Each structure stands twice: as C-alpha cells, then as structure tokens.
Structure 1
Amino acid sequence: MAVNVNNAFVGRPPIDGGVFFRAPQGSTLPTDSTTALNVAFVDHGAVGENGVTVAQTRDNTDIKMYGGETFINVQTNYDEQITITLLEDDNLAVLKTAFGDANVETTAATVSEGLLKTIYHTSDPLPISSFVIDAISGTKTKRYVVENGQVVNVAETQDVHNNVTQRTLTIKTYKPTSVALKGGNVVEYRNDGEPTGP
C-alpha cells in the first residue's frame, strides 16, 4: 500500500479557537464533528501546546493450562482517560471544572472593585459531566464526545513569573447511558472535509 500524506491528521484548534467544552450530565450531545454544540457546553479557552491526550488502558492476564502453556489471554480491565492543560486560569469555566461549580463564587464588579472570585479548595469529588473536545487538520475535523466523565486529578499548579498559571486536568471516562453511543466511553467523530459534489 502506497504512503499517502493526505491521511495524516495534524491537530490544531478550530478556527474559532474552541477546543474543550463541558456541560452538565444529561445535556444533548453532538452526533458529528461539525454541528454547533448545545449552548450548555461551555468553552474553556486556550489549551496548552501539548494538546489533548486520550489514553486507553487494557489490563490482561494469561489463563494457564496444566503444563504451563497459555490457554487464552483474557482482558481484566478497561480504562480510558483524557488529559488536557488549560491556560486561562482566570476563566470561570476553567475554575469551575477544576474545583467544582459550587466551590467558585463570584461577586459582580462595582465602582470601587472589580469582579471578585472566591474559590474553595475542598475534598468533595468533582461532578460527573459531559465533555467535548474539538480539533481540525486543514479541512478535516475531529471531535471527541464523552457522555459521562469526571475530573479525577488536577496536576500541581504553579504561579511563576515566567509562565502562565495552568490547570492540567485528568478526566476519567465512564460507560455511556445512551444506547446510541454503543458503549463508547469516548466516541470520536471525524469528517474529511471533502464532499463529493455541490
């Protein structure tokens, strides 16, 4: 089979810049990679240069026969996680995703003070939500959809003079409740951007 460079996907943010979105669990999900998202999905702004990492883990074990040879290998665990770094630390959506909606309070700006934010660092588990991640490569589009996901880790955060404060999130994905998603913890939609005619 000949090599075809046109089959490469070099991920970049979409033209409008929107990459990472979160919505309450139960929100209407997209079913392709190009349709505008439900307004419940909130944009989290700029994403770090490492983009998005989608990692599947399959644990396996060998079932041995008498004599020591392998009879069959069985899968004992499946897990899928997404890792992404968010760069807009003063973005309310970023703060609510990293700390929990109920743990971020705001007070509107006044003539004497700007918008006030109070963020409570608590041990409460973060909520199960729905997530969408978008990327493009030329005319190609790619969209990851997670019906049930949960932020399970926020990496060490550093305030330093030579970089922006970043939030690196790890999102554990769970089996969907929607039958249409066919059991996909993550469902990936693609469009090659090359329609056959007018």
Structure 2
Amino acid sequence: MTVNVMNAFVGRPPIEGGVFYAGPAGAALPTDATTLPGAEFEDHGAVGPDGINVTQNRSTSDERMFGGGVFVDLQTEFDETVEVVLMEDDNDAVLKSSFGDANVVKTAATDSSGTTRTIYHTDEQLPIRSFVIRTASGDKKKTYVIERGRVSTVVTTPDAHGASTKRTLTIKTFKPLNTALKGGHIVEYRNDGAVLASGG
C-alpha cells in the first residue's frame, strides 16, 4: 500500500472568514470551497476544539425469500446531522440559532446602561434555515452547504467558574429543493489548493 500524507486533511478555521454560518432558507449558497457566504449569513464566531462533526445514518432491513435467504436489503431510513460547539455565549447569531430570532431582543448601550439582551426560552420549534460550514487544512479548503436544516437540539454547558459557557447545536438536515444540489442533504465542496504552474 502506498501512503501519501498529502492526502490528509487536518481541519482548522480558514484564514479568511468564519467557520459556521446560518442564514434564511433559500438564501444563495456558495457553489465551491473558496467562496464566502453572502451577507444574509451570520458568522457564529469561535467553534469548539472538536470542530465540525458530520454524521450520516443509514438503516437497512433484509427482505427474505422462500427458504430464509436474503433476497434484497432495503434502505429504510436515511438522515444526516451536523454537531458543532459554539463558544461565544454573547454572540447574537449564536443566541438566535439557539432560541429563534424573535426570541432574542437586543437593546444598544446608552450612557446609563450597557447593551441588554432579553432571551425568551419558548417551546416553539426552531425554523428551517440554510447553513454554511468552512474548514481548511493548509492550502486545502472544504465547505459544507445545507440548503435546508433545522437546529433540533441545543445543549448548554453550566455557567461556572471553571469554563466558559458553550452551546452544542445539532442540526437535522433535509433534502434540498434546488435540483442542482442533486438531493444532497449536505453538499461538500473541496479544493486542494494545488494550482498548476504556468508554462513558459
């Protein structure tokens, strides 16, 4: 077996732009690994040290024939989720993704008060939105785009003196409406950064 360490990808934040973005469903998405998302998307700031965890789940069931042998295996379930730890507890984008836009009310600072936020913890289901996730490994770039996803769970660490408060978001993804995405719940773009040397 030939081993090529140049095929490794060791993820880290890109030099330009952020890692995790959310925007309204239907907003224009990047179509390559190097383009930043548009102004409709909000950067969620620092991401936890475990980076981005993309999990694809498939379930199958065997259909058996006379005699007990397997005739065909049927795929009965498919889903894909993304998990990310967001570290900036006072980041407005983080709060809106965790509680819903309408449930985060911000008032700018005045000469008698600092910036205030009121956050309503309601039982409303969070909306379907679009997401963009960007990582890099040296010159390599990788971008995940999710046309339709929903934050399904939010786990918040304690407000404690030993560590900063963090929020772990799990995003459930859905089949896209845009046929150009070929049914990809998540579409992954890569660019290895190895441009060809010009002749001459």
Bin of the TM-score, shorter chain as denominator length: over 0.9
Q: Secondary structure of the equivalent of 2:96?
A: helix
What is the letter of the counterpart of residue 189 of structure 1? Answer: Y
**Gapped regions of structure 2 (runs ≥ 5):** none
**Gapped regions of structure 1 (runs ≥ 5):** none
Q: 1:156 to 1:91 in 2, by over 3 A?
A: closer
Q: Secondary structure of the equivalent of 1:155?
A: strand
8 Å Cα contact 2:54/2:81 also seen in 1? yes
Q: Which residue of 1 aligns with 2:163?
A: 163
8 Å Cα contact 1:58/1:78 also seen in 2? yes
1:149 pairs with 2:114: no
8 Å Cα contact 1:149/1:173 also seen in 2? yes
Question: TM-score if structure 1 supplies the norm length?
Answer: 0.98
CA apart distance, 1:158: 1.2
1:21-40 map, 5 Å:
21-40=21-40
Q: Which residue of 1 aligns with 2:84?
A: 84
Rounded Cα–Cα distance in structure 2 between residues aligned with 1:163 and 1:138: 30
Q: Which residue of 2 aligns with 1:73?
A: 73
CA apart distance, 1:17: 5.5
1:1-198 map, 5 Å:
1-16=1-16, 18-198=18-198
Rounded Cα–Cα distance in structure 2 between residues aligned with 1:5 and 1:25: 38
Shifted more, 33-42 versus 55-64: the winner is 33-42
Rounded Cα–Cα distance in structure 2 between residues aligned with 1:151 and 1:157: 17
> How large is the RMSD of aligned CA atoms in angstroms?
0.9
CA apart distance, 1:197: 2.8
After superposing on structure 2, the runs of 4+ consecutive aligned residues of structure 1 that deviate more than 6 Å are: none
Rounded Cα–Cα distance in structure 1 between residues aligned with 2:163 and 2:10: 26
